[in-house]
Amino acid sequence: MTSCDVTVRGGGIFGLACAWEMARRGAKVRLIEGTRIGAGASGGLVGALSPHMPDQWNAKKQFQLESLLMAESFWSGVAEASGLPTGYGRAGRLQALPDARAVETARAREATAADLWQGRATWQVIRATGAAWEPASPTGLLIHDTLSARLHPRMAAAALAAAVTAKGGEIHIGEAPEQGIVLHATGVAGLTELGAALGKPVGGAVKGQALSLRHPAPDAPQIYASGLHIIPHADGTVAIGSTSENSYDDPATTDTQLDALHARALAALPCLTEAQVLERWAGLRPRARSRAPMLGPWPGRPGHFIANGGFKIGFGMAPKVATTMADLLLDSRDHIPEGFRVEDSL
């Protein structure tokens, strides 16, 4: 094994994205993953890259906006380096408006989105056309935003791993020696380890269940309806997710909660009624106590850093997380937003 500048622990979206960005900048990177690439939540099905509502602005929403705006160039670079598809596509999103109050709120957000999104994406109230790929809307109106995008989680993870090695990085499945600066991006297990080391919980696991259907609609927008994400992927599948479960018996099994999720999706988008179910998935997602990504130095452990807590927005946040951590580890430039540090979850 050659010497390296940075060791990244964890082959999920944060670890892979950070490893790629540092390798792209010329660092010698070693990534160590205990099980397999995308073994945790990053091996799921959904891949919704969706913005927060364009109001009540804060550092978390700004960080996410910047990440979503840089996503196309980030993922095209990964695809070019790896020679593999990532499933990225910025096809926008449709949301149903159930009542007059929701319509009023959505119209107010048209103006705030125009300002906050810097004119680089739009949020508009539009009239439903009755097309098959539209959510049922009692008001006959929909929100259409052009910032939302989608990514195929497993394709993206495989492409990132290949891109890292294409830039000369090492990927080890199992154990390997740490060298240089160490970045811990180990998801749920990492939050547990960090909490034990600091003597207090810093976050935990939230179970999610999702499913995949066979229904080709690769250029269609994603649908958000009744708390569901319905994501048409480039490979001819549609992902539906997900539950959020703080209490569960088995983190890896699906149950009747997923059946209910499926039924709600069919009610929102009847064109999926005859679509074959290809896969049912369950897994644990890491959520920091701050509910924001957890970035920065490991308190009291020089040379060790954390990138964790992606929860439901990890894929959307990954490009900005990667550049932020590369700036910190390689150039000692610290521009971690307010609320994102490890200490914010203590």
Q: Are 303 and 289 in contact (CB under 8 A)?
A: no
State the Cα–Cα distance between residues 234 and 45, nearest whole angstrom: 12
Residues forming a β-bridge with 280: 211
Choose among 152, 185, 136: nearest CA to 325.
Answer: 185
Average pLDDT, the chain: 96
Q: Which two tokens stand for residue 138?
A: 């009692």
Give me the pLDDT at residue 226, please.
81
The model's pTM is 0.96
Could you read off the pLDDT of 256-310 as tens digits, one per residue?
999 999 999 999 999 999 999 999 999 999 999 999 999 999 999 999 999 999 9
State the Cα–Cα distance between residues 146 and 139, nearest whole angstrom: 21
Query: Sorting pLDDT into bands at 50, 70 and 90, what band is 1?
Result: very low
Q: Which amino acid is at 253?
A: T
